[in-house]
Structure 1
């Protein structure tokens, strides 16, 4: 069993190569045709079908025919088509096996389709032939024109390039099948741009076609290039692109001055480095090819003027190198050459790439200010010079031919304190005030020179140095803080001192140290001059004790080497300290001084200041309270402080109750109950050694004693009592009293202040009470 495929293209046919079917592929189908049947080996025709693209007919396009030798023409076999485009693009007649294309095909979209063909039994729908694969290839026609995918093009070529110089290569592509016919074979031609450029037909390379194309004449060309398929034959399709060719510059033109001579006027007051004039040469080239250099090759202005090229404008800039003077020379002549900086050797044969021009510069006269013969005058004067001492002289001249007289003055903005004067006509400078080198060693003053004819002002500078004299005595270099350990032995260096001097002698300082005559023979310390502007302080003995003397003051005499020599006495304070075994001071004098704590003198001073401030605040608060007469501690029930009643009216003794309520003292027959607070235990011991017996009816000589016991007992157990002890004492005068008055005894209180130091006065008070009344034992009262 085999398939036979017929291929029909148009009205002509073609026999296909046969491919034998493998027997293994038929094994599944032997059972379907019966065991008695024997397969006869047959060949079946097999290859690919072709179909033209872009078919535009109304009827489906016939592709080919499928046929099986099993098909006897009785309609029992049907043909089935599967694969790419089956039923959508390609259809098959299931009875005849004819294949048709129902849609327009485009090879550029899809060049071939792979399908599978199969013959089936119409009744059972079982395959009678194995499924086989075949290809329908779309046959190309010339339906695509060449296209320049990279166009339009831009290219550059140097001007004056020789004929045949490559400019650019253009490339066109054709979507048609390059393996079939000439549909994709293109050739190139130039439609516009002749006769300047040409293009190679096969490669598309654009080349120059004319020699000596000048950029200065025309710098850009527009070309139109065509690409045509079918090798350019009749009926081929074509496409075009544009090419813009720009000629780049080469240095083929020399610079040229527009004129052969130039003339400029220059004022004589023009400062050095100023621009005098600008000249410019023309060059048809551009960019680096138009860069030019200028130089002066001849003339009497060499050294007075210079010329340089401006890199931005390519102008020749003439600048002044020296000051001009109309009275000396009124004109200059310069010959200036200009040349290209970058020269192309190919064009040297055309002539020199340079040009020259003459420049005449005329100097104009101006009214100039006076000029000092020396712009900076240096002078010196001793700081001991008296007022009116002449220091020096300045002079200025009129540079103009008029030679006008000149007057001098000092610019007071540079001599604010008016230390100097100048004579207006002669320029003589003298001192106007006493000078002090230590305050101002150098004076920089400005001298003004003014012409009488016109207000033209010239300026000069006078630098006046004040010369030093020995007018300052040497002193200690720093404020020394010297410590001496108690365990130090004799001959130990405890301090090295140095000195400073505000003066600056030419040969440098040389100081001499010694002890004053009064202290030279002391038994404690001595001084050794080290001959290097320092001195060492040494101990002469040991056994220093800070308890005996905590501070020593040692006067030191310092003398300089000036003429005349000056000296001063400086006192060195030496504190005796308790030191650790390493010799580090721990405490000095009566105050602790521990270096290990890291506290400096400034820190200790700050701590001391804080303490003093706090004490002042406390005292201020106490003073304010006293002025307001407010108690420090308030008691709602009673004032435990001493009550002072002042009067000078002697009444009738005990019968007089106007000054003080004596009811409590006069109630003699009432037994007093204890008023102790049972819920509070006293925190301080009582002021009496033994507690008296309970109160009862007592004779008059015990009234006051009982009253005192009662008040003391209340104060001992009262939790709101003040922290200090308080005692109130009274003297009770009965009938026959000598004093005839009632008052507190020996009170130390004053009108404005109260004394709380009661304990020291109890003895005298109690004794006096006992003596006044003549009753009881004063010793018992005192001991209590």
Structure 2
């Protein structure tokens, strides 16, 4: 016959009652001789209370008061002259005593988990005099435990992590269940653990609650999380024991057990030759099933004819390899490049070196596309010279430009008139020959900086620019001039030979060896013998 939880508890209660009645003589109070005790003027021996501990079963479900035990004094002859009283914890409210017989009963259902024992005091009184016939003495009523509490996981549910690929038996986490029943009595609080869900991947130690891995080589990339259900059962796991459960979420943490892998063995990208230096040509990415630092990688160009033209770096956020241009591209010089690129993990776990190299290779081909480029001059700056005496139409020099494209389209020339507002020069549209268009004057403008435009005849929107510096050579085409108008005064008593004025001259021309002026008096002044002129190699000093 199977008993349910309630029926089993009642069975234990009936059994305990039987044991209480069968051992009543041991629970009854008896007397032993001690030092003298005086009562009513007569000398007699003091009688002490001696007892065994009382027990009462918790969670009694009956309707009648539960018999606890019996107090009895040897003085009591059964004639009703002795009455018994209780005091202390729970007296009258929980425990009552039949004052005639000394029988003690519990009037309420008791819970050992709330209070495990009660300390009371008993006394036997003479009913007529109300005086004690025995000394007052303490005794304890202990609440006998039954298995009425299931184990509980107070810290659940649990979360834990364990590295993937861990060996069998690696500890994951320890779970602990507590049972409110009496651990010192029977097996009511003796818990064993078992796993209800999570096999065959994990196991649990029955006595300690330590969860361990049970399968080798669990792969996070295949499954990264497991939900375990752990049971704790009291009564050492026997039938009739109570149980509680908790959940444990176990996450496999990543280790670097996967190599980077390019999705393709080769890639091809087309880029225009006009792309500026430092521009991004392409982004490639090697896939890595790991995460976090274990998926971090670096890229490098290990071979190919584009080693000096391109470089590759890593985008730390996306782990992509970024290919950029280091030098200008020229379709006419080279139309394609081939790069051999390697992706390698930055943090390699030595435990998994046997799995192979943690790197991968791919080939990237870069096709350079032709772009219609403007004409290019043979020189960035042309320097030319012409005399200011040159006649209109004199040839000064020639500029040359060509179309760098494969089509080599013919070029036509013109002068940017914003740099030649006075239109001093002309250029032949076909030959690039520059000639004078006006008389030049070095003293007005010694150097002319003009911009020459070269346009493709098939695409006039493609315009190249060349720069020409034209220096005007000087000729002696300007007479000397006095530096200023002179007005000189002289005292009437000035002495002969006294300097009265220094004069000088200037010349707008710029001869290579500098100016040399010669001074003389005009004919009218030469007839005046009061003054003379002394030439000081450029400066003149007139004398009296």
In structure 1, which of residues 206, 227, 233 is the aligned counterpart of residue 232 of structure 2? 227
Closer, same or farther: CA 410–42 of 1 in aligned 2, 3 Å: same
Q: Identify the residue that residue 285 of structure 2 maps to in structure 1.
A: 280
Alpha-carbon distance change, 248 to 193 in structure 1, aligned in 2, over 3 angstroms: same
Q: Does 1:314 align with 2:322?
A: no
2:99 paired residue number: 94
The answer to whether 1:9 aligns with 2:15 is no
Matches within 5 A, 1:375-774: 397-401=402-406, 402-407=408-413, 450-454=455-459, 455-458=461-464
Is the 1:52–1:140 Cα contact (8 Å) retained in structure 2? yes
Q: 2:114 aligns to what?
A: 109
Question: Shift in Å at residue 463 of structure 1?
Answer: 11
2:72 match: secondary structure? strand
- Alignment CA distance shift 1:252-1:421 (3 Å): farther
Partner in structure 2 of residue 336 of structure 1 = 341
Match of 2:173 among 151, 168, 172: 168
Q: Assess if the C-alpha contact under 8 Å between 2:166 and 2:217 holds in 1.
A: yes
Choose the corresponding residue for 2:332, options 327, 333, 357. Answer: 327
The alpha-carbon distance between structure 1 residues 195 and 114, as it changes in their structure 2 partners (threshold 3 A), is same
Matched, 1:352 2:325: no
Q: Report the alpha carbon displacement of residue 397 of structure 1 after superposing the two structures with TM.
A: 5.0
5+ long unaligned stretches in structure 1: 1-6, 382-387, 436-442, 465-516, 519-562, 565-784
In 2 relative to 1, CA 264–145 (structure 1 residues): closer, same or farther, beyond 3 Å? same
CA contact (8 A) 2:275 2:328 kept: yes
Paired residues of 1:372 and 1:396 also in contact (CA < 8 A): yes
- Separation in 2, partners of 1:463, 1:348: 69
More strand by share: 2
2:65 alignment counterpart: 60
Shift of 1:22: 8.0
Q: TM-score normalised to the size of structure 2?
A: 0.69
**Structure 2: which 5+ residue stretches go unaligned?**
1-17, 386-391, 443-447, 471-487, 490-509, 515-544
Write the distance in 1 (CA, Å) between the matches of 2:269 and 2:378: 31
Aligned-CA RMSD value: 4.3
- Structure with more contact order per residue of length (Cα contacts < 8 Å, sep ≥ 6): 2
Residues 317-353 of structure 1, C-alpha deviations (whole Å, 9 max, x = no match): 2211111111111111122222222222222222222
> More helix per residue: 1 or 2?
1
Aligned counterpart in structure 1 of residue 156 of structure 2, from 146, 151, 157: 151
Question: Which residue is equivalent to 1:259?
Answer: 264
- Give the Cα separation in 2 of the matches to 1:147 and 1:11: 37
Greater shift, 255-264 or 89-98, is seen at 255-264
Match of 1:141 in 2: 146
Q: Which residue of 2 aligns with 1:189?
A: 194
- SS for the counterpart of 1:9 is helix
Change over 3 Å in CA distance of 1:224–1:463 after alignment to 2: farther
Q: Which residue of 2 aligns with 1:633?
A: none
CA distance in 2, matches of 1:76, 1:97: 13
Counterpart for residue 478 of structure 1:
none
Matched, 1:243 2:278: no
Post-superposition Cα deviations, 1:93-142, rounded to whole Å, max 9, x if no partner, equal: 12222110011111011111122223344445455544433221101111
Please give the alpha-carbon distance, in whole angstroms, between the structure 2 residues aligned to 1:444 and 1:129: 138
Is contact 1:410-1:421 (8 Å) kept? no
1:292 aligns with 2:297: yes
Partner of 1:696: none
Structure 2 CA distance for aligned equivalents of residues 130 and 418 of structure 1: 138
Q: How many residues are treated as equivalent by the alignment? A: 439
For the structure 1 residues 445 and 73, does the alpha-carbon distance in structure 2 shift closer, same or farther, using more than 3 Å as the test?
farther
Q: Does the CA-based 8 Å contact 1:166-1:208 persist in structure 2?
A: yes
- Asked whether the 8 Å contact 1:326–1:364 carries over to 2, the reply is yes
The one-character-per-residue Cα deviations of 1:36-73 (angstroms, maximum 9, x if unpaired) are x1131334314532111111122111112223444444
* 3-state SS, counterpart of residue 150 of structure 2: coil
